[in-house]
Each structure stands twice: as C-alpha cells, then as structure tokens.
Structure 1
Amino acid sequence: MTISLNSDAVEYARELIRAGKVDRNDRGDWSAEKPSAEGEDVFITNNGWDAYAKWHLGIDESADPRTKKAYSFPYGDFLVVHRSGVIAAESRAGEYNHTEIEKAAKELLSLIDGTE
C-alpha cells in the first residue's frame, strides 16, 4: 500500500478555505468532529466517489477507487474544512513519513491561519 498526495483534494481544500468555508476552532477535537462511517456512506450515496475523494489528502492508487480504503487523511466534514482535521492530517502524515501530505497539510494550515 502506497499512499500518495491527492492533489485534487489539496486544491479543493484551498478553494474552500479561500471561500471562508472553514472551522477555525482551535479547541476542536477532530475525532469527535469527523464524519461517522454512516455519514460517509450517505455522502457517497448522494455525491459519489469523486466528491468523497476530494475530502481526503491521501490516496492509495493501488486500491479500488470505489472503496473507502483508497482514501486517507480526511480534513473536513463534507461541508467545511476543519482546522483540527488539517492538524490531525499533518500529525499523522508526519508520524508515518508521508512527507508530501504533511507538507500540503502545513500549507493548508498556513492558509487557514492567514500566514501564507
């Protein structure tokens, strides 16, 4: 399994952040805020796999793109980007040596914080 940067997701996150569709709550707990498995299923049913993919910074190109297993490092709740989600993605990417994903998350965090 090789997880690579999902550049479409990064660009989509940038668009959302620039449009103000972001939850900047520093005290947010991503594990509590991220969509549930059931919420993901509803989103996929209503919007399709391409839309689902855009909410994940990581993609496993060897996995079936019509499975959740293909996507990792979520950053939002299908409505807005969550600062806590970007921080979680950055942290996990760094922990598992996914440097491109970690770098992209840092850049998104800078955009959220207005330091880019």
Structure 2
Amino acid sequence: MATRLNRKALDNARALVKKGKVERDIRDDWSEHAPSTDEENSFIDKQGFEEFSKWHLGIDREQSDGTKGSVSFPFGDFKKVHRCAIISLESRAAQYDHEDIAKAAKDLLEQIDGD
C-alpha cells in the first residue's frame, strides 16, 4: 500500500489545534466545508505544493511529486482544522487499512475534543 502518514501534515494539524485554529463542526459538514478545486488551485499558486501537502494526512510517494494525486485525507480549509474532516478521514482510512493515518486522526480528534 503506497499511501502512508504524512508526518509534516500531522505536525501542522497538531500545531493548529494547539493554537485553537479548529472548526468544531459536526460529522457530515465536511462535504460543504471542504475547499473547492478552485480554492485548492489558488492556494497552491500562492503558497506552493509543499504547503498544500501539509493539509493532507496521506501521502503517496509512488505518485508524481507535486500532484494532487500524491496527497490524500485532507483535514482543513487552509486556515483551520475541521473536526468533521478528521472524523471523515479517520473512518475512510480505517476502511482502507491505512492504520497509521486512522490512528493519527483518532489522536487528533482526542486533542480537539480534549480542549
């Protein structure tokens, strides 16, 4: 399985949660809160792909570097971590046997809910 935990993204998410940059939304909100393709492209144009990748807990080194296909499991809107995204990605990661990503998401959720 090529997708693995993106440690830089996990560090970014933890730091954002620690700073209180969290949207405490509910489970099904992510489909409405997720950045659009245009918002993603604008972010990449302004901040670069490396910064974009820090908003995705999954990374696939078998995909071409610097492509959207090389990252997965987004957790925020480029400003805040979204609780609904963490819930969604934890479930999806567990479903596809990405245990390291599912565990990281569970730990983030505990950090968010513990604050």
Could you say which TM-score interval applies, normalised by the shorter chain?
Answer: over 0.9
Q: How many angstroms does 1:26 deviate by?
A: 2.2
Separation in 1, partners of 2:7, 2:100 = 10
Aligned residues: 115
Superposition TM-score, scaled by structure 1 size? 0.95
Q: How many angstroms does 1:108 deviate by?
A: 0.3
Determine if the alignment matches structure 1 residue 24 to structure 2 residue 31: no
Separation in 1, partners of 2:65, 2:31 = 24
Determine if the alignment matches structure 1 residue 94 to structure 2 residue 111: no
The unaligned stretches of length 5 or more in structure 1 are none
Q: How many angstroms does 1:25 deviate by?
A: 1.8
Q: How many angstroms does 1:66 deviate by?
A: 1.0
Query: Which position in structure 2 is the counterpart of 1:104?
Result: 104
Superposition TM-score, scaled by structure 2 size? 0.96
Separation in 2, partners of 1:93, 1:63 = 18
Taking only aligned residues, the RMSD between alpha carbons, in angstroms, comes to: 1.2
The secondary structure found in structure 1 opposite 2:8 is helix
- The question of whether the paired residues in 1 share the 8 Å contact of 2:60 and 2:70 is answered with yes
Please list the CA deviations of residues 55-96 of structure 1 after superposition, one character each: whole Å capped at 9, or x if unmatched: 000000111121000000000000000000000110100111
Identity of aligned residues (%): 49
- The question of whether the paired residues in 2 share the 8 Å contact of 1:49 and 1:65 is answered with no
The unaligned stretches of length 5 or more in structure 2 are none
Separation in 2, partners of 1:27, 1:75 = 12
Determine if the alignment matches structure 1 residue 9 to structure 2 residue 16: no
Query: Which position in structure 2 is the counterpart of 1:114?
Result: 114
- Paired residue type of 2:101: I
The structure 1 segments of at least 4 consecutive aligned residues displaced by more than 2 Å after TM superposition are none
